[in-house]
Chains A and B, each alone.
Chain A
Amino acid sequence: MHKYIIKRLLFLIPTILGVAFIIFFVLNLTPGNPGRAILGTSAPQADVDQLNEELGYNLPLLQKYVNYIRKVAVEQDFGTSYFTKQGVFDEVWPRFMITMRLACVGIVLSTLIGVPLGILAAVKQYSPLDTIPSLISFLLAAIPAFVLGMVLLFLFSLKLNLLPSYGLNSWQSYIMPALTISIPTAAINLRFTKSSMLESIRQDFVRTARAKGASERVVIWKHALKNALLPVVTNIGLNLGGLIAGSVVAEQLFSVPGVGSLIVDRIKYKDEPVIIAGTVLIAVCFTIIMLLVDLIYAYIDPRIRAKYASTKG
């Protein structure tokens, strides 16, 4: 098991290399160049070329890539922004932390809301405890996060004037972005947990547990639940992509200075160092969470644990 974890952590290295390459590659396909973007359309071509040269933008793709990786690995230097001329790390890190804070609030809220309600809905199937949350989650699953955010903004800022409409300066200002991110995911979690739980409840081993004389409470919470949670754990991990997307949207809607809106802004200027650093940071964080999900999965499913132990050392 320890070997497996170390192996997975070592896998972070190719992940980072791969992600950086993908971004370099994709950005290389785009038209335009940073010099033009920074100096504007009216600047003379000679100035633009000179700036591009200074920035190291004109080097061939692979050379640029290798240079970048060497710099990061050897000097821990993420380069300087083409656009602001500041150190990339200092620029990206604080904004990355803001996005992560939002995404974490999102993952916790959506799990805390969605999973228990889903379990309850399955256990009390056809009762109001099932039908009402199921109906609400059904509607929510059809509303895009940005529409939800707009509705929240319209209601709580414009009409009721209760919550600040932008920034992240007080705890109140967290409410709307956090809800925008987590409510759609909570709805998905509810649906997923409910169907997984219903599936689990009708398994043979649940009947065996009943036949032993176990009370309904034990049957549900001990036997059915643990088996039902296996796919739910995977699903929570898969949610993270949606949460990051949600936080990009929320950052745009509520003018939150997160890494998502930073990347969206800098894509226009082809600010490669910033875009790459931001994406790689998110990717690393993503990979670590995925590893945690797999570990939790292995922890609750002995069959998978056995597989890891035997095949992957």
Chain B
Amino acid sequence: MKDTILEIKDLSVIYKTDLETVEAVNGISLTIGKGKTYGLVGETGAGKTTTALSILRLLPAATGRVLGGSIQFDGEDVLSLSESDMCALRGRRIAMVFQDPMTSLNPVMTVGDQIAEALLVHDRKMGKEEVERRVEETLSMVGILPSRKIEYPHQFSGGMKQRVVIAMALACEPELLIADEPTTALDVTIQAQVLMMIKELRNRLGTSMLMITHDLGIVAKICDDVGVMYAGEIVESGSVEDIFSPGRHHPYTEGLFGSIPDLKSRARRLTPIAGLMPDPTALPQGCVFAPRCKKCQERCKTVRPKAVTEGTHRIACHLYGGQAAGSAQGISGGQDAFRRKEEQ
């Protein structure tokens, strides 16, 4: 337990408006070790960002609600903290980098002030010169000239803005960095730069990281563990080796890999996964992936699959499930599998 920084157990989140209820996250569990990077992979709308926002308790107040489960950060239950304790945690110990750098900076504040704010909210007594020094340090750490601190966000390019966002997140040297598709909105060449910078800074500062992405290449490059998320559930998880080596995989993971162009076997055509993600307001009764699965069987349509664990590798699929008792309690079945994993 000591070397775990974040442990999510059986987390369920819904978005409830007066018109409909969206089941965004359905009983997911994951564990991030200290100094480790966990990659959360999946398509847009799978619930990755919702998971991240739940950790910081930044779900939209009017609609988002955590239905159940727990989030332990360094042994503390995040979900039961007071709002002021939560403020002390955010930014200081857990920081987040958002997807779209274009909109995540305040247009009417200089970037220097925005970084300084990250420092000052957690240490009001910090002297002016100290703040300035730290801001400059942080900026040069992410490869921006310290003299640009007096400039406004609109004077920066997209990649530079994301560097500013990262600088803001790292200003307090947090223990856990949540990066929500930090490179998706950037040019390919800039993507690689920013990614390498994140990786280098993580190594230098020893930060643990939750990397949210839909890019398996990023996962392979910087993650230690991986969770594959689909329609609010983690359908397969394990170490990078588990997921990237051939062998038993969830059909969705296979589908994801099938969607990536492969340089080595040029002849093979790209095989995208047919169909679309299920409507999160009306999830299928059985396996969430069943409607799109090529290997779908009869029971997949009615029974939620239990997870099967093999070392660090966990798959929730009937193909490998063997007996599927207790059909109705699909979610708690998944939870049982997690307990088994935790006990190992």
Contact = CB atoms under 8 A, between A and B. Distances in A.
B168 A208 contact: yes
A211 B96 contact: yes
Interface string A206-225: 01111111111010000100
A227 interface: yes
Interface in B35-75: 56, 58, 60, 62
A211 B117 contact: no
Given A214-B87, A215-B84, A215-B87, A208 B106 contact: yes
Contacts of B325: none
Contact of B107 (A211, A215, A227): A227
A213 B88 contact: yes
A212 B86 CA distance: 11
Contact of A302 (B56, B98, B107, B118): B107
Contact of B155 (A203, A213, A306): A306
A2 interface: no
B105 interface: yes
A303 interface: yes
A300 interface: yes
A208 B98 contact: yes
A303 B98 contact: no
Interface in B147-182: 152, 154-155, 165, 168-169
Contacts of B165: 208
Contacts of A226: 108-109
B106 A227 contact: yes
Q: How large is the interface on A (under 10, 10 to 19, 20 to 34, 35 or more residues)?
A: 20 to 34
B121 interface: yes
B103 A211 contact: no
Contacts of A218: 117, 121
B220 interface: no
A211 B108 contact: no
A210 B121 CA distance: 11
A215 B155 contact: no
Interface residues of B, number: 34
Contacts, number: 82
Which residue among B84, B107, B165 has the maximum number of chain A CB atoms within 10 Å of its CB? B107
B91 A207 contact: no
Given A211-B58, A216-B83, A204 B108 contact: no
Given A223-B106, A227-B107, A212 B155 contact: no
A4 interface: no
Nearest to A305: B152
B16 to A, nearest CB: 15
A204 B108 CA distance: 14
A306 B150 CA distance: 13
Nearest to B95: A211
A24 B287 CA distance: 80
A213 B91 CA distance: 5
A213 B89 contact: yes
B100 interface: yes
Contacts of A300: 108
B121 A302 contact: no
Contacts of A230: 108
A301 B109 CA distance: 9
Contacts of B117: 209, 212, 214, 218
A212 B90 contact: yes
B203 to A, nearest CB: 23
Nearest to B83: A216
A302 B106 contact: no
Given A204-B98, A213-B121, A213-B122, A303 B154 contact: yes
B92 interface: yes
Nearest to A203: B103
7 contacts: A205-B107, A212-B168, A213-B87, A214-B87, A215-B121, A218-B117, A226-B109
